[in-house]
Amino acid sequence: MRVFIVDIGIISALGAGTENNLCQLLAMRHGLNGKSSSIDPDTGYYVGKVALTDEELSDMFKVRTKLSRTSLLSLYAVNECLNDFCSDCNLGFISGTTVGGMASSENFFRKYIPCTENPKVEDIIYHTCGSATTSIVPYLPKLNYISTINTACSSAANAIIFGAQKIKSGQLDAVIAGGSDSLCRFTLNGFQSLMILDENHCKPLDLNRSGLNLGEGAGYLLLMSGDFVEKHGISPLCELKSYANTNDAFHATALSDDGNGPYLSMKQTLDKANIASAEIDYINIHGTGTINNDLAESAAILRVFGEKYPSLSSTKAYTGHTLGASGGIEAVFSVLAIEEQKVFPNLNFTAPMPTGIIPVLKPEKQKIKYVLSNSFGFGGNCSSLLFSKI
């Protein structure tokens, strides 16, 4: 059973909607214009914050209750990818997140602990990752399956993998799959404690990289079975050709220096599709800008592709690292690369690492058939998605 992508939806620091994000990517304009002090007065790092407020997002969809910001971002992106939705479809919704409604819970305890005012219970009931998914279900078409995945920064990619498996097994005709996350104090302080936040704009793959910038947003794909697409005469954007999820179990917050997890996820993805490494045209790398990630991912790329590696870049210098949403947002960028036949450039690169990997540095028009998208999470959870032009 083939699985196709028939629509996409996104909101990020680059803007709301696919067109805004595409324009910013092609113009090489990043969205890291905010400072984390607007979220946490004790920190002052660059962040990729979505410009729309919770109130503006709620008004767009006539939300009747106070939802978490993660849910509202999800609702925006999901609605965009349902533009051409076929209503007689056996539909599922699988969403990845790491933060869930944590930002709302922080508001609750900020009022509760000092007892300065009565906190609202609606700020805490949406705390869990699962609630970030289920709370927007009333605003969506009829769903026959709902699930949430939390595997750190590979969450959205794994939601897409799980959605494809549900379609291939014949359980669903279509799945809305991807992820959403919002900025909060807990996340900022967590990454600060790991000493992997860059005080300036991050520099993925650069010799002088020193860490990542955090961001928020949501990205989703509408996956659909080949049989349903053919039956209803739907014109898909591209095909989800293959995927793999692996775990190197090396460290709680780091990859092995030789990139075993990333190597296995990319190699297994290509092997399942029976595609040679030389056929890949572009890799949207995980590319966080940390010392460990970029070294490990580069080592893995050289193991899979050798010195003749394909065009590659990280888009996290545009959006910030959106954690559980990153695999969904970057899956949308991968689909756009196929649609536009363009590779999106890597920002802030000045000098290569010892591995010698050099990314694409300006918008590049080229023939693109296969795009590989990497998403790696804490605990060594590594996922790769392979998209194909039809």
Active site positions, annotated: 153, 286, 321
Distance separating alpha carbons of residues 3 and 210, to the nearest angstrom:
39
* HSE-up of residue 179 (Cα within 13 Å, Cβ side): 36
Tokens of 305: 């592709």
Q: Is the dihedral of CA 316, 319, 321, 326 positive or negative?
A: negative
Beta-bridge partners for 313: 284
Closest listed residue to residue 316, CA positions, set 207, 200, 201: 201
Across the chain, which distance is largest between two alpha carbons, in Å?
63
**If residue 3 lies in a helix (H) or strand (E), which one and from where to where?**
strand 3-12
Find out whether 228 and 168 touch, Cβ atoms under 8 Å. no
Q: At what angle do helices 185-193 and 102-112 cross, to 10 degrees?
A: 100
Q: Radius of gyration (Cα) for the chain, nearest Å? A: 20
Find out whether 8 and 17 touch, Cβ atoms under 8 Å. no
Find out whether 279 and 294 touch, Cβ atoms under 8 Å. no
Tokens of 235: 């014109």
Distance separating alpha carbons of residues 334 and 182, to the nearest angstrom:
22
DSSP 59-122: HHTT--S---HHHHHHHHHHHHTTTT--TTS-EEEEEE-SSTTHHHHHHHHHHHTTTSSPPPGG
Find out whether 211 and 196 touch, Cβ atoms under 8 Å. yes
Distance separating alpha carbons of residues 102 and 69, to the nearest angstrom:
9
Distance separating alpha carbons of residues 320 and 49, to the nearest angstrom:
8
Distance separating alpha carbons of residues 364 and 343, to the nearest angstrom:
5
